[in-house]
């Protein structure tokens, strides 16, 4: 066996070991959550709000947190898409001439993606005080939106960057305006990637505890308006996990199972949607 | 020569500090195939991109001079640029079909210019697909995505799509370089038919292709036009030493 072959085997082995390792770690996390949570998951958990003394092991469920989290995540993801999609299209279509500005924006967005969510939580909190808002669903949605907008923009931007320049130029020479290219050509070509971006942002929005810690408050009731405080799943898990009572800690794992199930369901839905939308995509 | 379709006067283009086009003066005759020829990197594609103002997309490119279509200077005008680009259909080096079905690819140009009636669109799409000999191949699958077509069919689809916006001029930038010989031949034959109603400008570095289809030749080298004229004179009796050696295959 010569040196080049040995090198090949060595690096292939290295890749195999690291892939196996990371897959095993992930499987172990999922296994430990499922084994700790599934036995304690029951219909009451997902169909009832907490009854008095729930946090001391009495009856009830966490429907308030499930609904609250969905409200926050769906609200924030929709807002982030409404802001992020135009920004990403603008960067890739209207600003193509000014590469330096676009790269500057990209750098800034990457920086924002790296800021811990507790900082966004604190920022949201100061905003709330400034506008005289109380801890509420609205404040939570706004904070989470600010937190996921950079992620949304960069994820869509990465997809738009893969569109070849020739397609842009071809569409221009057919006499299209830049907005026509945005929504008739680029949007259609990148729809699968946009769905992935939505999914990524949604996952971050529903799973993050720190950004809602200071802004949504916590309540046992399901909010009926934007001004009311709301519970969220990550916080429900956090509060239950820090309980001294074993039964409540076990419920925390059951809540984690619910959170994972929601994310799994959304992912599958997105895959199915992607599949039917990407048939017109051109593979260059 | 009759009034030329496109007259380029004193065109200079520099990119950062490098001058790509040096004082270009070219006349492109109406309803003929003009071939812009020359070795790689001589500026022939850049010259073509000036004509439909794709050079606008680059802030570092500094352009000066005039390009007249008829009496109108399209380089120094504040007119609607989409309308200028619509006068010229572009056929790129490789096909870039739009991410939609075959029918909508051709209907796209009609739709954005406000022609939206279904009956009208169906008639026009069929007309243009027939014009590029693609109708028989796709008539049963007009709603399939354009991506299912072969690359040669895609290039003809792009030609049909370009014709659908009713241009006066067809700009073709090495349109056959990604195609197999049979698909290339189909495109060449199409050009020979289309020249009765369109002015065709084609960039190529394939000498034999130029000989086959050119009516008028512009020969460029290092950003300068070395020689231009009717094809038979150019190939039979070139004036410049550089042209002679290029035609002999001494450099490319």
**How does pLDDT run across B77-110, given as a tens digit for each residue?**
888 888 899 999 999 999 999 999 999 999 999 9
Residue B35: strand pairing partners: B202, B217
Whether residue B90 lies within 8 A of chain A, CB to CB, comes out as yes
Would you list the domain boundaries of chain A? Answer: 3-40, 43-278
pLDDT higher than 60, residue A94: yes
Chosen from B56, B99, B163 to mutate, greatest number of chain A CBs within 10 A: B99
Q: How far is B65 from chain A (nearest CA, A)?
A: 21
Q: What are the chain B neighbours of A173 within 8 Å (beta carbons)? A: 52, 54, 85, 88-90, 162, 171
Q: Quick one: pLDDT at residue B1?
A: 54
Q: Given this model, what pLDDT does residue A228 score? A: 92
Residues A2-22 have a mean pLDDT of 95
Residue of A166, A168, A174 to mutate, interface with B, max B Cβ within 10 Å: A174
Quote the ipTM score. 0.89
Cβ-Cβ contacts under 8 Å, A170 against chain B: 90, 92, 96, 98, 158
Q: How far is A53 from chain B (nearest CA, A)?
A: 58
Q: What is the pTM of this model?
A: 0.86
**Rounded Cα–Cα distance for residues B73 and B76 (Å):** 6
Residue B16's pLDDT band (cuts 50, 70, 90) = confident
pLDDT tens per residue, range B159-215: 999 999 989 999 999 999 888 999 899 899 999 999 999 999 999 988 889 999 999
Do B96 and A164 lie within an 8 Å CB cutoff? yes
Residues in chain A: 284
Is residue A169 predicted with pLDDT exceeding 70?
yes
- Percent of chain B, pLDDT > 70? 98
Give me the residue from A166, A280, A284 closest to B145, CB to CB.
A280
Residue closest to B154 by CA, chosen among B204, B102, B194, B86: B102
Of A23-27, A116-120, A177-181, B114-118, the one with minimum mean pLDDT is: B114-118
Q: B31 pLDDT exceeds 60? A: yes
Local confidence band at B252 (pLDDT 50, 70, 90 cut-offs) = low
- pLDDT tens, A95-131? 988 889 999 999 999 999 999 999 999 999 999 899 8
Which residues make Cβ contacts (< 8 Å) with residue A104, sequence separation at least 6?
A: none
Is residue B250's pLDDT more than 80?
no
Split at pLDDT 50, 70, 90, the class of A274 is: confident
Tens digit of pLDDT for each residue in A234-273?
Answer: 999 999 999 999 989 999 999 999 999 999 999 888 888 8
- Tell if the CB–CB gap between B99 and A189 is shorter than 8 Å: yes
Q: Do B82 and A176 touch (CB under 8 A)?
A: yes
Please check the confidence at residue A278 and state whether its pLDDT lies above 90: no
Residue in A136, A120, A140 with CA at minimum distance from that of residue A72: A140
Nearest to B45 by CA among B1, B86, B15, B4: B15
Shortest CB distance from B99 goes to which of A169, A173, A280? A280
| Segments in chain A forming alpha helices (H) | 3-37, 43-47, 63-89, 99-114, 117-131, 137-161, 165-173, 178-180, 187-189, 191-207, 210-213, 233-241, 246-277
- The pLDDT score that the predictor gives to residue B39 is 86
Residue-by-residue DSSP string for B152-217: HHHHHHHHHHHHTT--SEEEEESTTTTS-HHHHHHHHHHHHHHTTTSEEEEEE--HHHHHHH-SEE
Pairing relationship of beta strands B72-73 and B61-69 according to DSSP bridges: antiparallel
The minimum CA-CA distance between A27 and chain B, rounded to whole Å, is 38
Q: What token pair was written down for A115?
A: 């800021």
- Could B85 and A167 be called an inter-chain contact, meaning their C-beta atoms sit closer than 8 Å? no
User: What average pLDDT does range A27-51 have in this prediction?
Assistant: 91
CB contact under 8 A, B96 and A279: no
Distance, in Å, from the CA atom of B45 to the CA atom of B133, rounded to the nearest integer, reads 27
Predicted confidence at residue B243, as pLDDT, reads: 87
Residue B38 — pLDDT band, cuts 50, 70, 90?
A: confident
Question: Measured over all CA atoms, what is the biggest interatomic distance in chain B, rounded to whole angstroms?
Answer: 58
CA distance B186 to B137: 14
Residue B51 has pLDDT above 60, yes or no: yes
**Does pLDDT of B231 surpass 70?**
yes
Record: contact B112-A176, CB cut-off 8 A: yes
What class, spelled out in words, does domain A43-278 have in CATH?
Answer: mainly alpha
Once rounded to an integer, what is the mean pLDDT over residues B136-156?
A: 92
> What long-range pairs does A83-87 form, CB within 8 A, spacing at least 24?
A83/A145, A83/A149, A83/A152, A84/A149, A84/A152, A84/A153, A84/A156, A84/A197, A84/A201, A85/A152, A85/A156, A85/A194, A87/A153
pLDDT at residue A146 greater than cutoff 90: yes
- Tell me the shortest Cα–Cα distance from A97 to chain B, in angstroms: 5
Of B93, B94, B98, nearest to A185 by CB-CB distance is B98
Nearest Cβ partner for A175 among B93, B99, B113: B113
Of B101, B112, B146, the CB nearest to A175: B112
Q: What confidence score (pLDDT) does residue A89 get?
A: 95
Average pLDDT over residues A162-178: 92
Interchain CB distance below 8 Å, B92 and A166: yes
Inter-chain touch B146–A282, beta carbons under 8 Å: yes
Report the mean per-residue pLDDT for chain A: 92
- Per DSSP, the three-state class of A146 is helix
């Amino acid at each position: 066996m010569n040196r080049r072959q040995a090198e090949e085997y060595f690096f292939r082995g290295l890749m195999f070991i690291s892939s196996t390792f990371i897959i095993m770690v992930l499987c172990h996390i999922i296994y430990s959550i499922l084994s700790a949570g599934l036995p304690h998951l029951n219909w009451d958990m997902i169909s009832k709000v907490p009854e008095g003394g729930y946090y001391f092991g009495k009856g009830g469920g966490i429907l308030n947190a499930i609904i609250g989290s969905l409200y926050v995540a769906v609200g924030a993801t929709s807002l982030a898409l409404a802001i992020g999609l135009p920004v990403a299209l603008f960067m890739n279509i209207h600003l193509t001439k000014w590469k330096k500005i676009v790269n500057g924006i990209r750098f800034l967005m990457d920086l924002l993606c790296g800021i811990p969510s507790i900082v966004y939580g604190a920022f949201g909190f100061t905003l709330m005080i400034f506008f005289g808002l109380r801890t509420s669903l609205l404040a939570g949605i706004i904070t989470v939106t600010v937190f996921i907008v950079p992620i949304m923009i960069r994820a869509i931007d990465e997809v738009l960057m893969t569109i070849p320049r020739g397609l842009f130029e071809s569409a221009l020479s057919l006499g299209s305006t830049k907005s026509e290219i945005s929504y008739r050509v680029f949007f259609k070509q990148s729809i699968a990637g946009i769905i992935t971006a939505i999914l990524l942002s949604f996952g971050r929005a529903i799973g993050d505890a720190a950004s809602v810690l200071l802004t949504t408050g916590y309540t046992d009731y399901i909010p009926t308006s934007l001004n009311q405080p709301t519970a969220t799943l990550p916080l429900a898990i956090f509060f239950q996990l820090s309980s001294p009572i074993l039964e409540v800690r076990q419920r925390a794992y059951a809540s984690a199972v619910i959170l994972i199930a929601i994310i799994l369901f959304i992912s599958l839905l997105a895959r199915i949607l992607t599949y039917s939308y990407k048939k017109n995509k051109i593979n260059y | 020569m009759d009034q030329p379709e496109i007259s380029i006067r004193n065109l200079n283009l520099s990119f950062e500090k490098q001058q790509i086009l040096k004082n270009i003066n070219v006349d492109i005759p109406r309803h003929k195939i003009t071939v812009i020829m020359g070795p790689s990197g001589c500026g022939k594609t850049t010259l073509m991109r000036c004509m439909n103002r794709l050079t606008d997309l680059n802030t570092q490119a500094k352009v000066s001079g005039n390009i007249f279509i008829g009496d109108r200077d399209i380089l120094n005008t504040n007119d609607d640029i989409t309308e200028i680009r619509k006068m010229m259909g572009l056929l790129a080096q490789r096909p870039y079909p739009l991410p939609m079905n075959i029918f909508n690819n051709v209907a796209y140009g009609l739709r954005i210019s406000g022609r939206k009636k279904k009956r009208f669109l169906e008639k026009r799409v069929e007309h243009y697909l027939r014009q590029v000999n693609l109708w028989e191949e796709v008539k049963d699958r007009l709603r399939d995505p354009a991506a299912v077509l072969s690359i040669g069919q895609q290039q003809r689809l792009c030609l049909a799509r370009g014709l659908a916006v009713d241009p006066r001029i067809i700009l073709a930038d090495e349109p056959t370089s990604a195609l197999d010989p049979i698909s290339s031949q189909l495109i060449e034959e199409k050009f020979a038919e289309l020249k009765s109603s369109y002015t065709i400008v084609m960039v190529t570095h394939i000498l034999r292709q130029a000989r086959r289809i050119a009516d008028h030749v512009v020969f460029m080298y290092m950003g300068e036009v070395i020689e231009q004229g009717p094809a038979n004179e150019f190939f039979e009796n070139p004036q410049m030493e550089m042209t002679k050696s290029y035609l002999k295959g001494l450099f490319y």
